[in-house]
Each structure stands twice: as C-alpha cells, then as structure tokens.
Amino acid sequence: MLSMGYSEGFWVNYGWELFEHVTDARTASLGQATSAYNFGSPVSSLINPIFSLAPIQNVNVTHQSRFAGILNNDLVGFQIQRKQNPIQINILYEGIGQIPDTRNMLLDWGNDGQFGTNDPGEGNGILDEGERLDADQLRFFSQHQVGIHAAFNHILRKMPIGIGIKILSYSLDSHFALGVGIDLGIMKKINETNIGIVARNLPASGLIWDNGTVEGTTPTVSVGIHQPLELTKIPVKLHSMFNLDISTSNRHLDSQLGFGPFSVDGSFGIEGIYKDKLFIRLGRNSVNNSTGGLGIQWDGFGIDYAFLSSSSSDGLGNHHLISLNFSIDWVKSKLVD
C-alpha cells in the first residue's frame, strides 16, 4: 500500500490483453462474439462470467504456437463443483522468447566513426552515416504472462450477476509485475433471444511493477445478442450471434468506428450443429479477421479447430488453434479399461 501511494501511475491500453486474445478454438472461430452465447464450456466464462452458473463436467485444453515457436499460448479451463455456486477456473499462459534487445548496439561516434571528436551526429542516438552497430552487444530477453480467471455467480436483488476475478503475473526480462482485475456480466432472455452485457476491468484493473510503477487499464463494455434456431425437418441447430465492444481508450488501426481514444467494434459468428456431433463455424472478430472452424464431439471427448485470417494492417499471417475438451469420467473409464 505504501509503494502504491508513492509510485508513479500510467494509463495503458494493453495491460490485460492476455484475457482477451488467449482463447479456445470454438470462441475464436465464432469471432469471439459469444457474450450472449453459452455453449457449455468452462472457457466460456472468459467472455462472460455469467456462464459459470450451469454445472460443467468437461475440461478444455488449448495450445497455440506462432512465428516458428517464438510465441506460445496455453489455456486450461475447468469447473470446481460446489452445491450452490460452482466456480469456473481458467489458467492462461503466454510466452514470447528470443526478443532482440538492440539498445546497446549503436556505436554513436558521429559521421567520422571516431569516438570523442564531437563531430555532427555523435551521441544523438541515431544511426548516422559512418556509424555502425556492434553485433557483440546484441542480447535477447523473454516475456511471460500467467493469468488466472475465476468466475462465479452472485444474486443481487433477485438478479444473477457473473463475477470474474482475474490475477495477472507479468515478467519482462528482469522486471516483474502483479495485478488484479474484476469483470461483471449479466444475461437476459427475451423470447428466444439472449442478450449479454459484460463490463471488464472494473473500476480499473492495475499492474504494480517491481520498480513501483502502476499501470492502470480503463473499463470496456461488450454487448452481445444470440439467436438460436432449431430446424424441425432436419437435425440441425443454428446459432447466430453479434457483439459490440465499446472502449474509451483502446482504439486501434482496425477500429470500425471511433474518434479520439473512443472506439466501437463489431463482431459476429454463425454456428451450425448437426446431430450434436458435427459443428461448422464462421465469423469475423473485432479486429477484422475472418474466422472459421470445425468441431467434432463424441461421448466424453471433442476436438475443435479454428482458422483466423490475417488482417489487412498487421500482416502477421494466418494462424490456427486446436482445442481438446474431455470429461474426467471419460478419462477414468479409459484408464480403467
């Protein structure tokens, strides 16, 4: 508490992005537009903590590796059973290795390439003509983030509210930070239409670094709509969903509507389910990536695959996710057999 009182604080845009982009294949393939779509997985509470209300037996495991293994993401979700109020736990990890540190490489000796002559360009921090880089001064460092998201429900004035408590551990080279954040979510059903509202980082999630610096992240709001449709003549269920993400400080190059730091970004997804066994998904997320995927479900075990295209601005290429979900009873039965 004393360190917070005397520390320097900053508002940042991406302090808690781990809980936004580390997700499972099913959610990713639907454009992460699932604020009002509870598909019965422990990882669904990452999008809206109200989804922790129903009992869930399955465990979900997701791994993603990008850029030749430099960036790795992992997600494990499960539910702790309680008589009245189960708790859904999601453990997230992101590791980035081999990040080059070039800060000490420049031999900033000016245009003549000689140290101490005080010629133009010496000591200006810019690579001028005649200067060079010292390859021996190149070093590499890594970044690691570990997050824990615990979601449960609470009744407030006869209305259930989902509460998500998240803890973030952040290490960057030799520096370390720790933070706590809160998400709140509700859902309302009108006829057959589900409406979900989520407020994240309330009142403001913060990270405290080892040097005393405090990084705060302002709240964001997501509003989602989910419309189910079950066909009677063929065993097919259709789920359509739309999401609006509203932020006061997280405007980016792909923002669909914004002025100043304020932005509003839409996303949508469509899922078709055949006999509760085969899943086909299409969507578009809030950063304008086209998404799609497939899923297969057996008794006690399932596989989900997601494909995300590269956006027009980042140029980082397409990438893929695979998630496994299984019940503990199914694992026990296989081990006993």
The CA distances from residue 300 to 90, 190, 265, 283, in Å, are: 20, 32, 36, 27
The average pLDDT across 236-242 equals 96
pLDDT value of position 102: 82
**Segment 255-303, tens digit of pLDDT:** 667 666 678 889 999 999 999 999 999 999 988 889 999 999 998 899 9
Residue 156 backbone phi and psi in degrees, to 5: -125, 110
In the predicted structure, residue 7 carries a pLDDT above the cut 70: no
| pLDDT score recorded for residue 187 | 94
Q: Can you tell me the mean pLDDT for 299-323?
A: 80
User: Given a cut of 70, is residue 316 above it in pLDDT?
Assistant: no
Distances (CA, A) of 195 to 149, 154, 185, 191: 23, 18, 11, 11
Task: Annotate 53-104 with DSSP letters as a single string.
Answer: SS---EEEEEEEEETTTTEEEEEEEEEE--SS--EEEEEEEEEEEEEEE-TT
CB 219 within 8 A of CB 246: no
Express as a percent the part of the chain with pLDDT over 70: 92
Which CATH number is 2-102+138-336 given?
2.40.160.60
- Whether the full predicted model's pTM is greater than 0.75, yes or no, is yes
Q: How confident is the model at residue 4 (pLDDT cuts 50, 70, 90)?
A: very low
**pLDDT tens-digit profile of 150-171?**
999 988 888 899 999 999 999 9
Residues 130 and 113: their CA atoms lie apart, in Å, by 5
Question: Which of 32-46, 136-150, 163-177, 304-318 shows the lowest mean pLDDT across its residues?
Answer: 304-318
- Please state, in angstroms and rounded to a whole number, the distance separating the CA atoms of residues 281 and 273: 9
Domain spans of the chain? 2-102+138-336, 104-137
Q: How far apart are CA 53 and CA 156, in angstroms?
A: 14
Q: What average pLDDT does the chain have?
A: 86
Q: Which amino acid is at 40?
A: G
CA 221 to chain centre: 15
Residue 49 three-state SS: helix
Report helix, strand or coil for 31: coil
> What pLDDT is stored for residue 50 in this prediction?
94
Confidence (pLDDT) at 34: 95
The single-letter DSSP state of residue 51 is: G
Other C-beta atoms lying within 10 Å of the C-beta of residue 13: 14
